[in-house]
Structure 1
Amino acid sequence: MAIQTGNFKITQVEKSRIHQLDPNNIVFGSLFTDHMLVADYINGEWKTPEILPYGKMEFTPALASLHYGQAIFEGMKAFKSDSDEVFMFRPLENFKRFNISAERMSMPAVPEEIFIGGLEELLRLDAAWVPKGGDNSLYLRPFMFSTDEYLGVRTSLNYRFMIIMSPAGPYYSKPPKVKVETEYIRAAPGGVGYAKCAGNYAASLYPAKLAADQGYTQLLWTDAIEHKYFEESGTMNVMFVKDGKIITPAVSTTILKGTTRAALLQIAKDEGYTIEERKVSVEEIINGIKDGSVTEIFGVGTAVVVSPFSAVGYEGVDLELPEITEKSVSQILKTILNNIRTGKIADKYGWVWKVA
């Protein structure tokens, strides 16, 4: 039975699938909660959002997003405290970035009451799906795609915004070994590298497969023009610890402005670390690994949180990095961030958004 609550029409599942969730054995992105949000943009306006049982959709083969790639998304997480309170982490930052992506992809902005309000309604309904403990969380995936059923190349007139949610554990089972990519590119100046659009990820799949065939978990992307400077690493921003300083590529039109990245840099600053946001050359880092001045390289992002690398492959040689310990910079920052997000320590930044 459907009910109207505030701005949302809600139809709840007859029987929950929560029994399928094993908090000790979570495979990222493989299990989804009971409900999803759907909001359609038709004839220049947003229709009443609906929260429905998670399930299939039906479109014709002429769906514009299948042919021309007008699709964007965000990655977010919800956490559960020891007292069973549910928190989101900096959702307004993801909301702002989502609409920056929408503008770049010539899509309509999603109103805050649909984006944030929809997340809150879903999390209240599916709060039992937020797993406790360790690196566990509930991954939140807002996304939007064009829904014109028309094959002409043009900006679509109609769109669908959705939110689905999936229990998540650690993204990597062990520290990844990464390869410096000097042939293929992720993004070029003037392109869509700063937007979370589907095409960015599609373009990365082939070079990532080639790297995987060589035994690497991820890529360290370099700039599109000279391949001399680091940009990102697969699904993550990247940080380097050199001579005790944290160095990271400055955000640009080719680098995604990560919410986790920004939070960790703020925490690091408050913990007294020296931070440099600048161009980071491949030569500097490779030489630093060799002479021991580079002691850590780690990816940061919503899905991975903080992921230290075990080795870097460059020009056919794998350069091992020091083993990570509790005193490593990456682990100190990760512990503080996780404690803030789960309510274990006070949130002096105002980052935590209580839902239920």
Structure 2
Amino acid sequence: MRRLFLLLLVLVVAAGAAAAWWLQAPLPQRPGAALAGQPLELAIEPGTTPRGVARAAVQAGLDVNADLLYWWFRLSGQDRGIRAGNYEIPPGTTPQALLQKLVRGEEALRAVTLVEGWNFRQVRQALARAEQLRADTAGQSDEAIMAALGRAGVPAEGRFFPDTYTYAKGSSDLAVLRRALHAMDRRLEAAWAQRDARTPLKSADEALILASIVEKETGRAEDRALVAGVFANRLRVGMLLQTDPTVIYGLGEKFDGNLRRRDLTTDTPFNTYTRAGLPPTPIAMPGKASLLAAVQPAETQSLYFVARGDGSSHFSSTLDEHNRAVNRYQRGQK
């Protein structure tokens, strides 16, 4: 009887040691299931049972018994905590590490960056190029996209906050846009709440439009508030804004990189040389700094500015001074 007990004890200890070894041993991949050194891709749909997860892992390319993997899920007590999603299983992953990844929901993430100053056409192009992002908006008009986002009738331009957005493989581009839309909502609301009491702007939407112009007009961060100050001064006294980026935006894809005199005199809703006040919509995505500059412009007497050619601008309070600056920095005259 004693020998039988000792034998059972040895078997139990051996089984425990084998189980401990298995949990820490790398799960092998079936030959050809992935390129050498590359992770396997495991997709778990919502509602998949723990047994179904084990089978999906084997189907994805793990060379392991699905029942064995399932019983490990069960015995761990965490089988009900496995989350749906898209996962990558790199070579060398152990059963224990695999379960922790699935329970924590550590999905395979990708990222797309929306850049300050981009227009919505550029945003859509970036989303279309983004790796493994589902193109649900492909073929849709801008208006249809905004309707799908719950903003029917709101122009898409400038309504999305420029930032880097991560997403799970297979996510919808509409989901990324929704996050960027809500991010801009928050940033714009916060900026408008901090507006200078003397601002000539009448609404947060006007602040967004002005911020988009500031974004396109500034080459240096320190000039943003001064540029905004010039435009605020012009709005107060009823001067035309006369800003080239709005004209370029109005030309759309017809713009070939050269802004000509006839472009400045051809009337469009965005030509601030022919129409007073702000254009009807933003012309690009402004970042946080431009939003704040639009609502907190610098106190300045300047009504004009011209690019120096090094990214900075020269600011003038009189037309004579401005013309001299144009001659110096744009025409190379002393």
* TM-score scaled by length of structure 2: 0.26
* Greater strand fraction, Structure 1 or Structure 2: 1
* Greater helix fraction, Structure 1 or Structure 2: 2
Relative contact order (C-alpha < 8 Å, sep 6+): which is higher?
1
* TM-score scaled by length of structure 1: 0.25
